[in-house]
Amino acid sequence: MQRIAVFTSGGDAPGMNACIRAVVRTGIAMGKEVYGIRRGYAGMIEEDLFRMEKSSVSNIIQLGGTILQSARSEEFKTPEGRKKAYEVLQKHGIEGVVAIGGDGTFRGARIFMDEYPDIALIGVPGTIDNDLYGTDFTIGYDTAINTAMNAIDNIKDTANAHNRLFFIEVMGRDAGFIALRSAIATGAEAVLIPEDKTEMEELINMLEDNFHKKKRASIVVVAEGDDAGGAFQIAAQVKEKCPQFDIRCTVLGHIQRGGRPTCMERVLASRLGMEAVKALLVGTKSVMVGEIHRQIVFTPFEQATKYHQRINPDLIEMVELLA
């Protein structure tokens, strides 16, 4: 294998640039030519790729976003789209690809590799949601929880100043990892996540109890995908039952997706990028590279896309116990 390529796909995540840098520099250090594909599978189909040198990734390790940009491609979901992508790789003599993204990216990769087994593809987990099976942490998660934590700290100041109850919505369409850790780190009164059924009555009882004990400033962190709804919907239900509460809502939104990656993020992203290339060059393919208990682990795409990382129930208990 003489020529490899790298792309980022799905929701961008801080640390993706550090990973791109590691892929490019490891590839070049091992005597290979490295190409960057812009905008994920969409760019692959549209032949939007370019040769990368060591200098192409200078001064990017500290940047959020992704210099290769990202996309979610509908066309790649079709056999015709994948055929076009394959032909582009063939035309440029690219035999190995590192895909940095989430489960949607790996689902696409798995089908692609079934259809075109002569292309070797390795995945690197990049999503702020941390919901991927096969790694303790995904690229982007550590930065996102620190961003959420800092924002919630700020909101706590004003919540305390006015004795207000805040519902703060964090990202996580199907997963409560961001909500759970940011809730623990900010000493929130409650956390509502999709993995744990929300009992509205229990929540209201707890908040009323606090109110009667004169604890009137409270923070409830809500994952956007919670079964009871988003922050505004939940707040409306609480207000209806407890009109005495002075309630405000904040949706943190895409602020969690950007920003300078933390130190942990940069190190993880660099390590996974380097290991992905090393593995690719010894013939490994159709796996996601992750880190579990600080060891590098390869999980077949089939499993990485079938299972989700599970929430540790001890952490949910911790929020309740320490509130």
Binding site for ligand F6P (CB under 6 A): 11, 102, 127-129, 171-173, 224, 257
Which of the residues 103, 114, 118, 129 is marked catalytic?
Answer: 129
- Picking from 262, 195, 187, 185, the residue whose alpha carbon sits closest to that of residue 223 is 195
Question: Which runs of E-coded beta strand occur in 147-214?
Answer: 165-170, 190-192
3-state secondary structure of 35: strand
DSSP code of residue 94: -
Q: How far is the CB of 177 from ligand F6P (least distance, A)?
A: 10
Q: Which is nearer to ligand F6P, 36 or 102 (CB)?
A: 102
Residue for token digits 């990973």? 19
Q: How far is the CB of 75 from ligand F6P (least distance, A)?
A: 17
Q: What is the DSSP string of 271-297?
A: HHHHHHHHHHHTT--SEEEEEETTEEE
Q: Which is nearer to ligand F6P, 10 or 27 (CB)?
A: 10
If you compute the radius of gyration of the chain from its CA atoms, what whole number of angstroms results?
22
Q: Which is nearer to ligand F6P, 11 or 64 (CB)?
A: 11
Alpha-carbon span 224 to 219, nearest angstrom: 15
Q: How far is the CB of 59 from ligand F6P (least distance, A)?
A: 26
- Written as one letter, the residue type at 156 is K
Q: How far is the CB of 223 from ligand F6P (least distance, A)?
A: 9
- The answer to whether 189 touches 216, Cβ cutoff 8 Å, is no
Residue for token digits 């961003």? 147
Q: How far is the CB of 129 from ligand F6P (least distance, A)?
A: 5
Q: Which is nearer to ligand F6P, 16 or 89 (CB)?
A: 16
Instruction: Tell me the helix, strand and coil percentages in the chain, rounded to 5.
Output: 45, 20, 35
End-to-end CA distance of the chain: 55
Alpha-carbon span 173 to 226, nearest angstrom: 8
Q: Which is nearer to ligand F6P, 17 or 127 (CB)?
A: 127
User: Is 114 among the catalytic positions?
Assistant: no
DSSP code of residue 139: B
Q: How far is the CB of 224 from ligand F6P (least distance, A)?
A: 6
Q: Which is nearer to ligand F6P, 96 or 194 (CB)?
A: 194
Distances (CA, A) of 214 to 20, 153, 161, 307: 51, 21, 14, 44
**Catalytic positions, please?**
129
